[in-house]
């Protein structure tokens, strides 16, 4: 079984990525500038529509390959960000959870609500037993989302990620079913 192509989370609609979502992704990344680029190595202020389409295409292809399930987060006709699981390992029943929200959507509970819906679907529809959240130690907002989801902190991974050319420690959380 596979996760559905759409999920609901309160007034949010999560929709499987399509190529035509690319310009919405690009606009959100440009709006978010340094806020997003601090922790997402692919994001930069000049992110254009072609890059947005490449991202949407990658998310589409990963869905088809069964390696990821990423959703565009919408409130009405407003694109707010992205949420999903990747690194799906059906043998070991694990995956990693990722999420980001555009700057103008921060503080509205978007990431927590959307991620909660994805986690539930991943457990129910993909049969997963463990979902990991890995985030830079300094990314307080992402860490709060993980904690609100009920994820337990398993440890700090030293120099796990390189951001802006500097190795940073990451917090590893897990949600266990």
pTM tops 0.85? yes
Please report the pLDDT score of residue 1 as a whole number. Answer: 65
Please report the pLDDT score of residue 117 as a whole number. Answer: 99
State the architecture of 6-176 in CATH terms.
3-Layer(aba) Sandwich (3.40)
* b/e burial code for range 117-151 (CB count within 10 A of at least 16 → b): bbbebbbeebebebbbbbbbeebeebbebbeebeb
| Token pair 């987060």 in the structure block, residue | 73
138 close to 166: Cβ distance less than 8 angstroms: no
35 close to 81: Cβ distance less than 8 angstroms: no
- Helix, strand, or coil here: 32? helix
Please report the pLDDT score of residue 164 as a whole number. Answer: 84
Neighbours of 83 (CB within 10 A): 30
Please report the pLDDT score of residue 33 as a whole number. Answer: 81
**DSSP bridge pairs for 45:** none
Please report the pLDDT score of residue 133 as a whole number. Answer: 99
Which sign, positive or negative, has the C-alpha torsion 128, 130, 131, 132?
A: negative
For the chain (177 residues), the mean pLDDT of every run of 10, in chain order, is 93 97 96 88 90 95 96 98 98 98 95 99 97 97 98 98 93 98
Please report the pLDDT score of residue 44 as a whole number. Answer: 86
Please report the pLDDT score of residue 35 as a whole number. Answer: 85
């Amino acid at each position: 079984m596979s996760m559905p192509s759409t999920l609901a989370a309160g007034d949010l609609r999560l929709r499987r990525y399509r190529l035509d979502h690319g310009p919405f992704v690009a606009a959100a990344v440009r709006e978010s500038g340094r806020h997003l680029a601090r922790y997402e190595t692919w994001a930069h202020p000049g992110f254009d529509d072609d890059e947005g389409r490449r991202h949407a295409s990658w998310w589409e292809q990963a869905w088809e390959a069964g390696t990821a399930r990423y959703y565009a987060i919408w409130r009405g006709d407003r694109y707010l960000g992205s949420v999903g699981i990747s690194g799906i390992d059906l043998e070991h029943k694990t995956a990693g959870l990722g999420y980001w929200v555009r700057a103008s959507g921060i503080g509205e509970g978007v990431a927590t609500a959307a991620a909660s819906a994805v986690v539930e679907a991943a457990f129910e529809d993909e049969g997963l037993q463990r979902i990991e959240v890995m985030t830079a130690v300094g990314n307080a907002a992402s860490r709060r989302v993980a904690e609100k989801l009920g994820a337990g902190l398993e440890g700090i991974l030293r120099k796990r990620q390189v951001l802006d050319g500097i190795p940073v420690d990451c917090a590893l959380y897990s949600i266990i079913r």
